[in-house]
């Protein structure tokens, strides 16, 4: 399957690229903003597309998505201010959804934020605007599109090596998860149609990634 990754140069998405390189069923197309980011993907035999989620139009995004089977949205403003957060995490996400529908792509996987304790966590970490933007983007995806969506809500992201062990559910207490394990989860989601129209929180746990995703109902 051809997978168009938005926010491909982010930390989670770079791990996804490593998994995609080894997965014969996934052919990634990485959307990047700067030419100097291309080397990482070229080393892995991954095609890149130079586009800016904020500056480029829906039509331009849709043109780049033609012929792909799925979109993974892993972009984020990364706490770079109110304006960029709204433009990327809310408006940019909706542009990506609109472009996917325009291009005839059905599958859309959203990397969102943790839901349980979201308000408290936002206040504690100064991420109120980010979490609000993500929330409304999620709601738009679920209620304003005809896409076959999956929304993944990771816990606190850390850069420790992945364990390939997770737990998934809604309503869990906040905890950590390595970015590598989130990327592994995204790969498993793409391989499992049972995740369509599902949203779930993912944390470090004691169940193998594939097993945990296969059990989703």
Antiparallel, parallel or unpaired: β 198-204 and 148-154: parallel
Q: Mean of the pLDDT values across residues 13-25?
A: 97
As given in the structure block, the two tokens for residue 197 are: 């129209």
pLDDT band at 208 (very low <50, low <70, confident <90, very high): very high
Antiparallel, parallel or unpaired: β 198-204 and 165-169: antiparallel
pLDDT on residue 125 = 55
Antiparallel, parallel or unpaired: β 165-169 and 207-208: antiparallel
CATH class, domain 2-214, is: alpha beta
Q: In the predicted model, is pLDDT for residue 119 greater than 70?
A: no
pLDDT on residue 217 = 75
Q: How many CA atoms lie within 13 A of 193 on its CB side?
A: 2
For the chain, which residues make up each domain, given as ranges?
2-214
Contact 94, 140 (CB under 8 A): yes
DSSP 35: G
Question: pLDDT (tens digit, 9 = 90+) per residue, 131-163?
Answer: 889 999 999 999 999 999 999 999 999 999 999
Question: Alpha helices of the chain — where are they, by DSSP H?
Answer: 11-22, 38-42, 58-65, 82-85, 93-103, 118-125, 128-143, 179-190, 209-214
Contact 29, 4 (CB under 8 A): yes
Q: How many CA atoms lie within 13 A of 118 on its CB side?
A: 18
As given in the structure block, the two tokens for residue 87 are: 């433009």
Quick one: which H or E segment has residue 176? strand 176-178
Residues with catalytic function:
130
DSSP 107: E
Q: In the predicted model, is pLDDT for residue 64 greater than 60?
A: yes
């Amino acid at each position: 399957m051809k997978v168009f990754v938005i926010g491909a140069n982010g930390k989670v998405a770079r791990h996804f690229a490593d998994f995609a390189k080894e997965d014969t069923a996934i052919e990634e197309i990485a959307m990047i903003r700067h030419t100097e980011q291309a080397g990482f993907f070229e080393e892995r035999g991954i095609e890149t597309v130079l586009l800016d989620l904020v500056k480029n139009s829906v039509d331009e995004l849709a043109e780049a998505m033609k012929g792909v089977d799925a979109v993974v949205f892993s972009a984020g403003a990364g706490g770079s201010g109110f304006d960029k957060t709204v433009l990327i995490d809310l408006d940019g996400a909706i542009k990506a959804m609109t472009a996917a529908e325009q291009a005839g792509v059905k599958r859309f996987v959203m990397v969102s934020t943790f839901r349980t304790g979201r308000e408290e966590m936002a206040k504690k970490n100064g991420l109120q605007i980010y979490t609000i933007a993500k929330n409304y983007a999620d709601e738009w995806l679920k209620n304003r599109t005809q896409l076959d969506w999956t929304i993944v809500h990771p816990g606190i992201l850390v850069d420790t090596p992945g364990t390939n062990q997770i737990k998934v559910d809604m309503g869990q207490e906040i905890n950590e998860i390595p970015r590598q394990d989130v990327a592994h989860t995204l790969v498993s989601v793409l391989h499992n149609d049972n995740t369509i129209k599902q949203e779930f929180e993912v944390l470090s746990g004691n169940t193998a990634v594939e097993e945990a995703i296969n059990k989703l109902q």
